[in-house]
Amino acid sequence: MIEQDTVKLLRECDSGVKMGVSSICDVLEYVHENSLRSLLTESKKHHEALGTEIREHLDRLGDDGKDPSPMVETMSRMKTDMKLVLHESDHTIADLMTDGCNMGVKSLSRYLNQYAAADEFSKDIAKRLISIEETLGADMRAYL
């Protein structure tokens, strides 16, 4: 049970990291303020570093990881594109990123509870990813 929950939790973290990186990449070209660009770029680096760690652990467990749902990615990209077409601004980007961070924290917290038998290393990864998302969400408040 421990290994099963460990793999499942790491898969969800893998998917979450990929979604976070994708979302940041989707908005970076629209950012006007350098300070916002720096915050997003730094968060992207944190996501990517944690993603590498997750995939290394999944490799050791003989698992390929998990990509975000194509439907979720498509819907996210459509929402981003529509909002930015209507109002391209750092405020809009901060609003989109805040929503994404909140959804990430909510989902990851649910998975952390759902896969309670996961090993402590995997739980720590999930908690670190939640922290990255919470920090980015808080940082976005200055741009709302």
How do residues 63-96 score in pLDDT, each as one tens digit?
999 999 888 888 888 888 788 888 889 999 999 9
Q: Specify the pTM.
A: 0.92
3-state SS string for the chain: CHHHHHHHHHHHHHHHHHHHHHHHHHHHCCCCCHHHHHHHHHHHHHHHHHHHHHHHHHHHCCCCCCCCCHHHHHHHHHHHHHHHHHCCCHHHHHHHHHHHHHHHHHHHHHHHHHCCCCCHHHHHHHHHHHHHHHHHHHHHHHHC
User: What is the pLDDT confidence band of residue 44, given thresholds at 50, 70 and 90?
Assistant: very high
